[in-house]
Amino acid sequence: MNLKLLGAALVVLATLVSNPLWAEEASAGDRTATGGAQTLEDIMARQEQLKVDESFRSENLGDPANAAPSTDQLGTNGGLSNSDVYRAIRYNEADVRTQARTPAATVLIQDGGMPWYKLREGPLITYGGLALLGIIALLAVFYLIRGRIKIDGGPAGTTIERFKAIERFGHWLLAGSFIALGITGLITLMGRSFLIPVLGPEAYATLAAGSKWLHNNIAWAFMLGLVMTFSMWVVHNIPNKLDWQWIKAGGGIFTKSHPPAKKFNAGQKIIFWTVMLLGFSVSLSGLSLLFPFEMPMFAKTFGIINSVLGTDLPAVLAPHEEMQYANIWHSIVAFVMMVAIIAHIYIGSVGMEGAFDAMGKGHVDLEWARQHHDLWVAEVEAKQGKGGSS
């Protein structure tokens, strides 16, 4: 993903989290009954994600001396509530000191929770879910139209080594962990909407706790698989002129031709770089979620993007906002990866005759290899000084 695209994605993300696009303006309402303080309607409107004009309280912090309790201890007022103090805390005008020494200790009020929650329960589940169902439907239609991609003229019967055991181990470590992370991640994200109504809260609580535990621990296997496959295959995935030819020919998928390719064709390189770059990003945001408040990265990233693209992303974020961004970004990236990987799984199994053997047995039929990776076969044969082995 180039920087401009990444910047645009983050601008959309920042807008969604801090200022939901779908929010309608709430009517100002009559606050005379509360002496100018917020009304029940204001609270309800905020929970409904309506935009509330906050100026009636953000511009009403009272006496600045009173509103900045830099030396006073909170809680010494007994039953008395000092609204000026709480408004000052809410709008970050109070110099708060606490005895707790955790990274987020000085944030007493952070009101990004509802927008984050609504974004997660609403558009994220809806569009993410639709993307998964969409790619499955698209592949089903593709299968009906194109059918299984066969080896022209049938298999040769002799084979050639495609992946060594260590490469297959790396692939299956990555693949197995990714699938487990995808399933447990979806259970965590969608459970409240889809599983609690079916399983009930008690059974779901057990499932959710198990999913979270698995998700947090399997993540390490995924990262190891990512490093292994990256280091073993990056040399074969450097883009070159051939890739452009392959893309122009649409991979030969519809014309039923076989554009020349080395070890990996352009389609596979796209999968490789999607998995590596998004895998890196999903791992980083995942680590940031795994160690709350210890790895803030969005304010810094937004700052860099602002300086490069001249955008106006928030470069100062409360620790909780960092966590909200990390959570939403982690899910968006995971959905994009899942869509790409579902297509990859299709083409590596039912979609193409002879493909699965590459990762299943490590050896592929020579005719399959000649049709899909002719230049790679020529390289291997030149090195060996002979044809394929059986």
- Which residues of this chain interact with ligand HEM, rule CB under 6 A? 162, 171, 174-175, 178-179, 229, 233, 264, 268, 271-272, 275, 341, 344-345, 348-349, 355-356, 358-359
Closest to ligand HEM by CB, 178 vs 325, is 178
Closest to ligand HEM by CB, 16 vs 337, is 337
* Long-range contacts of 50-55, Cβ-Cβ distance < 8 Å, separation of 24 or more: 50/23, 50/24, 50/25, 50/26, 51/23, 51/24, 51/25, 51/26, 52/26, 53/25, 53/26, 53/28
Task: Output DSSP code: residue 32.
Answer: G
| Residue 156 contacts residue 367 (beta carbons within 8 Å) | yes
Alpha-carbon span 247 to 242, nearest angstrom? 9
Name the residue with the smallest CB distance to ligand HEM: 348
The single residue listed with the structure tokens 């291997």 is: 380
The distance of closest approach from Cβ of residue 387 to ligand HEM in the complex, given in angstroms and rounded to an integer, is 19
Closest to ligand HEM by CB, 274 vs 311, is 274
Tokens of 346: 């299709």
Closest to ligand HEM by CB, 233 vs 325, is 233
The distance of closest approach from Cβ of residue 253 to ligand HEM in the complex, given in angstroms and rounded to an integer, is 14
Closest to ligand HEM by CB, 117 vs 172, is 172
Q: What is the CA 274 to chain-centroid distance, rounded?
A: 12
The distance of closest approach from Cβ of residue 233 to ligand HEM in the complex, given in angstroms and rounded to an integer, is 6
The distance of closest approach from Cβ of residue 138 to ligand HEM in the complex, given in angstroms and rounded to an integer, is 18
The angle subtended at Cα 109 by Cα 185 and Cα 97, nearest 5°, is 120
Closest to ligand HEM by CB, 53 vs 353, is 353
Residue 41: CB atoms within 10 Å:
16
